[in-house]
Amino acid sequence: AQSVTQLDSQVPVFEEAPVELRCNYSSSVSVYLFWYVQYPNQGLQLLLKYLSGSTLVKGINGFEAEFNKSQTSFHLRKPSVHISDTAEYFCALYNFNKFYFGSGTKLNVKP
């Protein structure tokens, strides 16, 4: 069975501080992993994806994520957040033509 767990439903952080949003997955086969961001009243847009190769993946807006197969994790990081990063972030797993989304993490960046 495939599943994605986002460990934090909300993450408050001050502007210019680093942030890590945690994602763990469960799958018995190789997977493709994604992070999506959703700004208020909008659809989701892709931040980054891991398909194969280097385990450190860089995405848009200064975000990066590290694939850790032994810990079945795909945590999202940014060294210095901005107010405009306030949004909801979704981790997703893809295989066998299906996507499995986590429950989302709301990142609230405070001035």
Binding site for other proteins (CB under 8 A): 32, 34, 36, 41-46, 49, 51, 90, 94, 97-99, 101-104
Least distance (Å) between residue 92 CB and other proteins? 8
Distance CA(67)–CA(97), nearest Å, equals: 21
Least distance (Å) between residue 17 CB and other proteins? 26
Cα angle vertex 62, ends 7, 24, to 5°? Answer: 20
Least distance (Å) between residue 111 CB and other proteins? 25
3 state SS of 62: helix
3 state SS of 82: coil
| C-beta closer to other proteins: residue 93 or 109 | 93
| C-beta closer to other proteins: residue 15 or 24 | 24
Distance CA(93)–CA(32), nearest Å, equals: 6
Least distance (Å) between residue 16 CB and other proteins? 29
Q: What contacts 96, CB < 8 A, 6 or more positions away? A: none
| C-beta closer to other proteins: residue 54 or 98 | 98
